[in-house]
Amino acid sequence: MVTTAVEKITPAKAQEYLTRNINNRRVREAMVNNYAEQMKRGLWRLSNDAICITNTGKLINGQHRLMAICKSGKTCEFNVSRGYDEDDIMVMDNGMGRSAGDILYLQGIENANTLSGIIKRRLVLSRHNTALTNNNNGGLYSGNNKILNAAVNEEFYAHQELYKEVTKIAKCVYNKLRVLVTSEYGGIAAHLILDQNHPIENVKAFWYEFCGLQPDSNSVTMLLRTKLVNDKMSKAKMSAVMKQKLIIKAWNAYITGKTVKVLAYNEINDKDIWFI
């Protein structure tokens, strides 16, 4: 018989449970670090996802969360379920989890999935990570890039009017020129506004010139548009890193008024460039 109760798990208690951690998944240190960061920020919440212990006392679910408690030094509440057979581990985590978009949707927020995508990309960009690739540490939002639903929810309410406006801009640009997805247009826009402190009017003008919604004031937007359109039509796609670096170079030239005759990516010289 499986029983479940809410427990406040201290770092000492977490360490005790981890001594019973046998035949679990390999540890993903990046995930532990991310969970610990969320715990330190007070974003961790009690959920239905339980720490699971067998009828012989072995830990079969929850090792990353328990390790994060030890790393963060924080005490968190968890459902702890006891009484599983050891082979029950085979059917754990097979259900469909709620996405950040689901959380926003359940609160009656319009464009919930688009908004969550934009917010996630902005949060990844704020760490100066590549937000146009789905192959960082196993995936765009895995490992060090993992963004918890609570973090997306908190971020939305911290800047909800701005995110709504950025979403409108991103959807408008996407409908005009579909060389990036809406969350990429919006995520970069939100990063430039919130992290790089650029006025929304400047960011909007850049994307509108890029997609042809208003005339080019700087040749670099036309050069970037040509590059990404050609890539969209090509069978030999440029790498996600190269694509993002070209966007960075185009923005930096645009916002400083620099004239660019050739827009190109140099793997060595452009390795560390970022949005200004």
pLDDT digit string, tens, across residues 173-200: 999 999 999 999 999 999 999 999 999 9
Q: Higher confidence at residue 30 or residue 71?
A: 71
What is the Cα gyration radius of the chain?
22
Check residue 94 and give its pLDDT. 52
Check residue 144 and give its pLDDT. 54
Burial of 26 (C-beta count, 10 Å sphere; 0-12/13-18/19+)? exposed
Helix or strand holding residue 67 (H, E): helix 63-72
Which band of pLDDT confidence, cut at 50, 70 and 90, is reported for residue 92? low
Check residue 86 and give its pLDDT. 78
Which band of pLDDT confidence, cut at 50, 70 and 90, is reported for residue 138? very low
How large is the average pLDDT for residues 59-73? 93
Please report, in angstroms and rounded to a whole number, the separation of the first and last CA atoms in the chain.
Answer: 59
How large is the average pLDDT for residues 100-123? 91
Spatial contact of 149 and 36, defined as CB atoms under 8 Å apart: no
Least confident of 16-20, 89-93, 166-170: 89-93
Least confident of 2-11, 121-130, 176-185: 121-130
Beta bridge partners of 5: 80
Check residue 16 and give its pLDDT. 93
Residue 135 has pLDDT above 50, yes or no: no
Which band of pLDDT confidence, cut at 50, 70 and 90, is reported for residue 87? confident
Residue 107 has pLDDT above 70, yes or no: yes
Tokens matching residue 113: 């999935």
Question: Strands, DSSP E only, in the chain?
Answer: 3-9, 51-54, 59-61, 76-84
Where do the H-state alpha helices sit in 107-197?
112-125, 149-158, 160-176, 182-194
Check residue 99 and give its pLDDT. 81
Q: Higher confidence at residue 94 or residue 209?
A: 209
Check residue 143 and give its pLDDT. 52
Place of tokens 């402190």: 197
Check residue 206 and give its pLDDT. 98
Residue 218 has pLDDT above 50, yes or no: yes
**Number of C-beta neighbours around residue 37 at 10 A:** 18
How large is the average pLDDT for residues 53-78? 93
Burial of 25 (C-beta count, 10 Å sphere; 0-12/13-18/19+)? exposed
Instruction: Please give the domain boundaries of the chain with CATH numbers for all domains.
Output: 3-91 (3.90.1530), 100-256 (no CATH)
Check residue 97 and give its pLDDT. 61
Distance CA 58, CA 84 (A): 9
- Its pTM stands at 0.72
Beta bridge partners of 80: 5, 51
Q: Measured in whole angstroms, how far is the alpha carbon of residue 155 from the centre of its chain?
A: 12
How large is the average pLDDT for residues 88-106? 72
Check residue 85 and give its pLDDT. 87
Distance CA 197, CA 176 (A): 26
Residue 89 has pLDDT above 80, yes or no: no
